[in-house]
Amino acid sequence: MIASHLPALQVVVPLLGAPFCFLLWRSPRLSWLLATLISWLTFAISIALLVTVNNSGTIEYAFGGWQAPWGIEYVVDQLNAFVLLIVSGIAAVVFPYSWISVQQEVELRQQSLFFTSMVLCLAGLLGITIAGDAFNLFVLLEISSLSTYTMISMGRDRRALTASFQYLIMGTIGATFIIIGVGILFMLTGSLNMQDLAQRIPELDQSRALHVAFGFLITGIGLKLAMFPLHLWLPNAYAYAPSAASAFIASTATKVAVYVMVRYLFSIFGVNFSFQTIHIQWLFVPVSLFAILFTSIVALFQRDIKRMLAYSSVAQIGYMLLGIGLFNVTGLTATLLHLFNHALMKGALFLAMGAVCYRIGNTFIDSMQGLGKQMPWTMAAFVIGGLSIVGVPLTTGFISKWVLIQAAVERGWWPVIIVIVVASLIAMMYIWRVIEAVYLQSRPENAKNVSEAPLSLLIPVWILALANLYFGANATLSSELAGNAAATLFSGTGF
Amino acid sequence: MELLVNISLLFMLSLTVIAVVRLKSLFAIVMLFGIYSLLSAMIFIALDAVDVAFTEAAVGAGISTVLMLATLVTTGRWEKKSSRSSFLPLLIVSITGAALVWGTLDMPEYGNPDNPAHHHVADRYIEQSPEEIGIPNMVTSVLASYRGFDTLGEVIVVFTALIGVLSLLQVRTPPSVAETPLRNENRKLSRPYPVLQVVALVMMPFIILFALYVQFHGDFGPGGGFQAGVIFAVAFILYTLTYGLDDALALTPVSVLKALAAGGVLIYGGTGVVSMLLGGNFLDYNVLSSNPVSGQHIGIIVIELGVGITVASVLICAFYAFMTRALPDQGQKG
């Protein structure tokens, strides 16, 4: 009986768990324990969903028992089962980590509110991913966005407040664009259900209103996924948020937005409309190439390493959009693979920075000098994550870049390959800056001596660092999942 | 005639917006926002969307005006001069607006009954909801049952907003409660207007009665949990404004409000869980009773109650948080 309700439970468990986390406001520890339990439950559910989808195909779930398109439905196919696994998997690692880190970085009175926001954010992100209904996706987007603004604003630095406000304004504009797009789609088709929309859109192909809806949706989602040059909210948001929040948001929120983009382009508007009527690739390719080069260079000059990682994220999102823009199955596979791989590497890096922040109170490169000897395990994990960003063989980063280059070769676009290689060299430079400071410099004289981070921080960091190595050496599982999903999307059977 | 009404409403709406942009007095801007919402509510009525109009009037013109006024207590009444150039934003806004106009010139003819938006899913809502759900207000049928999961999401959005408000602005205890000797002194000070207090006291029962009417009449006419929750909150806000914060905090302690806010969400979600346990899908009210239609009735009344409880307690709590912001930071409550 439970098995048939799994799609609903995937979202309902964290959604209804959040009020309980909130009710435990007198004891932040209990809130956190409940949050962790919820994250593990959702992870288990997403594994079960992935297995079911692989064995018996797409699952549909009708809320309220009303069949789509009259009611709201959840649809789990290979594509979103894969994304659900990424989101809940990262949550299952970050939530246990958050206790100690939040103890130090967030005021006592805000702690259980922080854990409640984290659970709400998880519910929102999972809901966006699993929704088969354009309006329901919007509602859960609001839940995840509001809770993200809240988490960011709890950062210790006063600038967290402006960062959160900036993101709130940009995010709200993005959400407004999305709802205008959805509204026009409803006006044209009379439906909000994604599969139903997909059937009704091809005949409207020449309608100007449909083109405008497409424009609004792409811009709105672009704001959410920090598509260059709409990324200006992201660096401050990631840099000033509490460490646990940075790690969770950086490795899940933009990935989910990329998923929404893929869903709209390939499943709802369809390959023909998006790529042959509108030619979205002519927007994505130049924008993403510019993003990859420009933000990688900006990352070189950051003093705060969290901010550096944030700029690097914008560049990595560029790789994902580039994969879409290459417009072939290999390119889309690279995008989906990079969703997974980037979550692992940025998760490991931000968690390692959280451990550093726990010990020395900030993540500035000059105060991290010589830390390699005092925090060997944390820094080793950082190095693994860093190598993965660069794309060194035997790390996950190599796999996605390799597939992306293959896709560019298939297209015969040599300049694209040059950009990817140059950007990897720049990434090597900014990671090397950190390695040099940490291992080759000595500790500044007035700095206090610190010891290795506690195990409860180290274990999550290392789980993700080892995952980087494991999925780098043995990429069959992730490539197969990404490859299958990409092939299905291109075949136009969509869901 | 209708065209004339629409044109003049839209014209006034644009005038309001221009005035908001030009003015520097935040107090005037807040008032204009209220007018903006009332005008939008009238446009919604002209579009025959009475439920939406009711919500817009209650939330947009009512409660958000109160919250913005409460914010003015801390921020002051005048807008600071912005040093940024407004050229680029203006350009972007103009392009966006032009795109919308260009696209909508091609949209299905306004008000044509053959439009896709009036058929497809809408047909079933109109033709079958009286038998399937059995209540006269189809808007409530769609919101609470056909698309009930969206509405649960909306309630959680409201709940998430409370989390945000509480994390940024804690509800502080007024000094009078913290220091007992001063309490009586302060009580005298906070009761300077006996006439207002008497009027407020006379009005409160009627406001609450109206809130209950809107709450339970949502099945038959415009109304439901969202609007009722707002009206209910207004009664307590009126009490706070006339009797002072410490009396209000004694009447509705923050910890109770917080528990109610979470409780309303859980009542709604719990209905879904119960329907799952009884063998239906999440939020399938048919299984709540042996007769599917009365199951729908029970389900809708229960979830609307959850909505009302959460909305009312979140708004009262948020109002307290805004109001106590101006107080000095002494001790905290909840």
pLDDT tens digits for range B266-291: 999 999 999 999 999 999 999 999 99
Structure-token pair, residue B202 = 């006379």
pTM confidence score: 0.94
Is the pLDDT assigned to residue B190 strictly greater than 60? no
Average pLDDT over residues B48-60: 91
Interface pTM, i.e. ipTM: 0.94
What does the DSSP 8-state code read for residue A442?
P
Per DSSP bridges, beta strands A59-62 and A73-76 are antiparallel
The CA distance from A120 to the nearest CA of chain B, in Å, is 8
Write down the H helix ranges in A57-133: 78-105, 108-130
Which is higher by pLDDT, A491 or B292?
Answer: B292
* Closest to A247 measured CA to CA, from A372, A376, A338, A155: A155
Task: Identify all chain B residues contacting A62, using CB atoms and an 8 Å cutoff.
Answer: 281
Task: Identify all chain B residues contacting A215, using CB atoms and an 8 Å cutoff.
Answer: 99
Residues 6+ apart with CB under 8 A from A250: A238, A309, A310, A313, A346, A347, A350
Residue B85: which pLDDT band, with cuts at 50, 70 and 90?
A: confident
- The single residue listed with the structure tokens 């009512």 is B62
Task: Identify all chain A residues contacting B100, using CB atoms and an 8 Å cutoff.
Answer: 180, 212
- The single residue listed with the structure tokens 């009175």 is A109
A36 burial (CB, 10 Å; 0-12 / 13-18 / 19+) is buried
The CA distance from A353 to the nearest CA of chain B, in Å, is 24
Average pLDDT over residues B311-320: 94
Average pLDDT over residues A412-435: 94
pLDDT of residue B181: 44
Task: Identify all chain B residues contacting A64, using CB atoms and an 8 Å cutoff.
Answer: 145-146, 148-149, 281-285
Average pLDDT over residues B181-200: 65
pLDDT of residue B266: 97
pLDDT of residue B109: 82
Residues 6+ apart with CB under 8 A from B17: B36
Residue B218: which pLDDT band, with cuts at 50, 70 and 90?
A: confident
Say if residues B15 and B47 touch (Cβ distance below 8 Å).
Answer: no
Ramachandran class of B20: left when φ > 0, alpha when ψ lies in -120 to 50, beta otherwise: alpha
Residue B192: which pLDDT band, with cuts at 50, 70 and 90?
A: low
pLDDT of residue A493: 58
Question: What amino acid is encoded at A79 in this protein?
Answer: L
The CA distance from B282 to the nearest CA of chain A, in Å, is 6
A1-5, A128-132, A191-195, B326-330: least confidently modelled range: B326-330
H or E segment and range at residue B288: none
* Closest to B145 measured CA to CA, from B297, B311, B320: B297
Is the pLDDT assigned to residue A451 strictly greater than 70? yes
A398-412, B83-97, B154-168: least confidently modelled range: B83-97
- The single residue listed with the structure tokens 């944030």 is A310
Average pLDDT over residues A61-82: 92
Average pLDDT over residues A262-267: 94
pLDDT of residue B176: 52
Classify A234 as helix, strand or coil: helix
Is the pLDDT assigned to residue B327 strictly greater than 70? no
Average pLDDT over residues B98-119: 85
Is the pLDDT assigned to residue B110 strictly greater than 90? no
Residue A495: which pLDDT band, with cuts at 50, 70 and 90?
A: low
Say if residues A25 and A31 touch (Cβ distance below 8 Å).
Answer: yes
pLDDT of residue B185: 47
* Closest to A63 measured CA to CA, from A116, A140, A125: A140
- Among B52, B112, B163, B166, the residue to mutate for chain A (most A Cβ within 10 A): B163
Cα-flanking dihedrals φ and ψ of residue A398, to 5°? Answer: -65, -45
Average pLDDT over chain A, rounded to an integer: 93
Is the CB of A18 inside 8 Å of chain B's CB atoms?
yes
Residue A419: which pLDDT band, with cuts at 50, 70 and 90?
A: very high
Is the CB of A153 inside 8 Å of chain B's CB atoms?
yes
Other beta carbons less than 10 A from residue A292's beta carbon: 27
Classify A59 as helix, strand or coil: strand
H or E segment and range at residue B78: none
Average pLDDT over residues A469-477: 89
pLDDT of residue A195: 92
pLDDT of residue B112: 83
Distance CA A400, CA A387 (A): 13
- Give the distance, in angstroms, between the CA of residue B267 and the centroid of all CA atoms in the same chain: 19
A122-136, A386-400, B164-178: least confidently modelled range: B164-178
Distance CA A253, CA A221 (A): 12
Distance CA A15, CA B289 (A): 26
Question: What amino acid is encoded at A440 in this protein?
Answer: L
Residue B191: which pLDDT band, with cuts at 50, 70 and 90?
A: low
Task: Identify all chain A residues contacting B122, using CB atoms and an 8 Å cutoff.
Answer: 190
Residue B333: which pLDDT band, with cuts at 50, 70 and 90?
A: very low
pLDDT above 70: percentage of residues in chain B: 91
Average pLDDT over residues B229-240: 92
* Closest to A269 measured CA to CA, from A326, A216, A205, A175: A205
Cβ of B150 within 8 Å of Cβ of A135? The answer is: yes
Torsion of CA A118, A124, A130, A136, to 10 degrees: 170
The CA distance from A77 to the nearest CA of chain B, in Å, is 20
Distance CA A473, CA A297 (A): 29
pLDDT of residue A50: 94
User: What residues of chain A, 95 to 134, have a C-beta less than 8 Å from chain B?
Assistant: 109-110, 113-114, 116-117, 120, 123, 127
Is the CB of A140 inside 8 Å of chain B's CB atoms?
yes
Cβ of A8 within 8 Å of Cβ of B282? The answer is: yes
Digit-coded pLDDT (tens) for A240-261: 999 999 999 999 999 999 999 9
Digit-coded pLDDT (tens) for A378-401: 999 999 999 999 999 999 999 999
Cβ of A65 within 8 Å of Cβ of B107? The answer is: no
Q: Map out the domains of chain B with their CATH numbers.
A: 1-78 (1.20.120.1200), 136-334 (no CATH)
By Cβ distance, the residue of A69, A109, A180 closest to B332 is: A109
Distance CA A153, CA A145 (A): 12
The CA distance from B180 to the nearest CA of chain A, in Å, is 25
Classify A135 as helix, strand or coil: helix
- Among B138, B281, B283, B285, the residue to mutate for chain A (most A Cβ within 10 A): B281
Residues 6+ apart with CB under 8 A from B85: none
Say if residues B58 and B223 touch (Cβ distance below 8 Å).
Answer: no
Task: Identify all chain B residues contacting A241, using CB atoms and an 8 Å cutoff.
Answer: none
pLDDT of residue A494: 52
